[in-house]
Structure 1
Amino acid sequence: MPSNTIRIRAKISGGVTDVKSLISHPMTTGLQKDKKTGKVIPAHFIEQVTAELDGKQVFVANWSIGISTNPFLSFKVEGGKPGETLKLSWVDNKGESDSTTTKLS
């Protein structure tokens, strides 16, 4: 399992939590060819991203090959209090996954 692939920041302003993250992942489509061998590079992309705020699921994104390498993700969630925990997780088409948590500020 990959580790440390997610960088995340979550800040509260006016009762809304603003979440920004950067995920390190190759996000290959399965349509590119290796320049040296000419063989197709197998698809390897994130299929699902989820976010939980203090254990309650607040965000789900289903992705496919149309997302760029090392995707940036930003979303807002109503609510959240300083000190609560936000967990962001992803799973890819090869069964690999990662997650990280941060405290709201």
Structure 2
Amino acid sequence: MRVLLEKKKEVCMSNMYAPPFTMTEEITNLIIEIGEQVGTVTVYDMLQPNPKLRRESRIKSIHSSLAIEQNTLTLGQVTDVIEGKTICRKAVNSCGFSGKLCAGFDEAAF
């Protein structure tokens, strides 16, 4: 049985892929250096803040807080206010009075 296993091993070894180059110590060291550099870049990318994601999160948080208070501003309107634009829409109060409601964002207030 042992002889049979050794012969199978020989057949498998002869069918292995042989690269068209010879592995040297220099090649091995370069592969290790490349792996270290890839790891450094990966960690660096993970540490970078994402201002777009933070901004979107802030807008959604403000929109949700306003919705809890029964404010009907859309995400787009909240975005406009944050960007410093003035938004206006027709408003009707509980007494039936209708008029123009405008809102803006004042950086100095914060």
Q: TM-score higher than 0.5 here?
A: no
Structure scoring higher RCO (CA < 8 A, sep ≥ 6) equals 1
- Which has the larger helix fraction? 2
Please, what TM-score do these two structures have when normalized by structure 2? 0.24
- Which has the larger strand fraction? 1
Please, what TM-score do these two structures have when normalized by structure 1? 0.24
- Which one has the largest radius of gyration? 2
